[in-house]
């Protein structure tokens, strides 16, 4: 896919959704951090239902530690891998208090030192909380990038590096969310809704398949 087509695709997304944001519900930096840890192998909808109850009783590192791991597990039992995630959240709360003066760090290296936080979550935090032009590649971004021909790569790191290279600076802040929404609701893993696709006339997948 050439540069002109990529620019047209991103321009269409910008016109359609000029201010995209995560579907996770949060009211503080720490709430976003916890929500992202919970989101691994869980839907945003399930995470929001879980945190709606959790954050009423504990939404700071101090209150999470006061709640304790046993009660925390009861609150997050509905999300996948809740046992591991409870330990991640407890350890993250300790680390924030003991090493970072209750402030979430703004570098990828520091963020990835937290339990349960990998490159994808670190990139989202840097993007959302610190306004950095990082591009997180999850399963939706990976699928849309490859399927459409926008940025082809055999793994998430290669796709991320390709996106950083080919996406104009003005679009880097938002492309993650555009591709997430597109992959979640239109360019789905199965039963793609190509007939309502905003970018179908530019998509290499729809233009190369028999329909």
Q: Which residue ranges are tagged as binding site?
A: 187, 194, 197, 203
Of the residues 138, 161, 165, 173, only one is catalytic, namely 138
Non-local (6+) Cβ contacts of 75 within 8 A are: 50, 53, 54, 57, 58, 67
Span 184-201, pLDDT tens digits? 999 999 989 999 999 999
What does pLDDT average to over the chain?
95
Q: Which residue ranges are tagged as binding site for [4Fe-4S] cluster?
A: 187, 194, 197, 203
Of the residues 73, 120, 131, 165, only one is catalytic, namely 120
pLDDT at 209: 58
pLDDT at 55: 98
d(CA 183, CA 132): 23
Query: How do the domains of the chain map onto residue ranges?
Result: 3-20+135-208, 29-130
120 has catalytic annotation: yes
Average pLDDT on 145-171 reads: 97
Yes or no: is domain 29-130 CATH 1.10.340.30?
yes
Span 46-90, pLDDT tens digits? 999 999 999 999 999 999 999 999 999 999 999 999 999 999 999
Name which CATH class applies to 3-20+135-208: mainly alpha
User: Do the two domains 3-20+135-208 and 29-130 of this chain adopt the same fold?
Assistant: no
């Amino acid at each position: 896919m050439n540069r002109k087509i990529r620019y047209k695709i991103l321009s269409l997304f910008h016109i359609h959704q000029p201010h995209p944001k995560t579907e996770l519900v949060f009211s503080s930096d720490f709430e976003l951090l916890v929500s992202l840890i919970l989101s691994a192998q869980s839907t945003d909808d399930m995470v929001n239902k879980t945190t709606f109850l959790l954050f009423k009783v504990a939404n700071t590192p101090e209150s999470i530690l006061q709640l304790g791991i046993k009660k925390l597990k009861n609150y997050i039992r509905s999300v996948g891998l809740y046992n591991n995630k409870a330990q991640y959240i407890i350890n993250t709360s300790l680390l924030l208090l003991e090493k970072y003066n209750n402030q979430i760090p703004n570098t990828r290296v520091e963020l990835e030192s937290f339990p349960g936080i990998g490159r994808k979550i670190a990139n989202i935090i840097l993007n959302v909380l610190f306004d950095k032009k990082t591009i997180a590649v999850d399963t939706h971004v990976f699928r849309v990038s490859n399927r459409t021909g926008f940025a082809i790569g055999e793994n998430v790191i290669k796709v991320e590096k390709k996106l950083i290279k080919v996406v104009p600076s003005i679009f880097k802040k938002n492309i993650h969310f555009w591709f997430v929404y597109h992959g979640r609701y239109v360019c789905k893993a199965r039963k793609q809704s190509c007939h309502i696709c905003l970018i179908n006339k530019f998509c290499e997948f729809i233009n190369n398949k028999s329909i």
